[in-house]
Amino acid sequence: MRLKTISLLLITLLTSTVLAQELPEYGQITELQGKQKVYIAAESVSSRKIIANELKKQFILVDSPDEAEFILLYTVESSTESLGRRRSHYMRSQLTAYVQTEKRKRILWQDDETYEESSGFSLSRPNEMNLAKNFLKALKKAK
């Protein structure tokens, strides 16, 4: 009985330690001031290129997260809705700026953008471009 109690306590302690390491910290975008080397992580090469084109004038783009002073992570969720004969495609994207500390990820900025395409036609700029521009505006405003 005592061995089971000790085992259960040890498992609980290890599990809570692992979960705590996976949880992010939160900071401010001002912590990016002075940082120049950025790694862009995206689900597709084309998305990465769009973001890189917006940032290349102000930052040094690196090809490895190990070389970066901070990371921009671009993620996408999409859905399609049908209303009668009309179909709409929604793409919700998120861009997150973070640094990796010894213990965990520290999120310094995050923004969302939604793109709607109805009947295969849209006048909007790509989410990647909008989010990259939003990031640059937020960084400029924080100075």
8 falls in which pLDDT band (50, 70, 90)?
low
- End-to-end Cα spacing for the chain: 60
Which pLDDT does position 91 carry in this prediction? 78
pLDDT tens readout for residues 25-45: 999 999 999 999 999 999 999
Strand 25-26 with 105-118, pairing: parallel
Quick count: other Cβ atoms within 10 Å of Cβ 61?
18
Residue 101: DSSP 8-state: -
Across the range 81-91, mean pLDDT stands at: 69
> Coil, strand or helix: which one is 120?
coil
Which pLDDT does position 137 carry in this prediction? 97
Spell out the domain ranges in the chain.
24-142
Quick count: other Cβ atoms within 10 Å of Cβ 94?
15
Q: Which fold has domain 24-142?
A: Rossmann fold (3.40.50)
pLDDT tens readout for residues 66-77: 999 999 999 998
Residue 20 in this model has a pLDDT that exceeds 60: no
98 vs 111: CA distance, rounded Å: 12
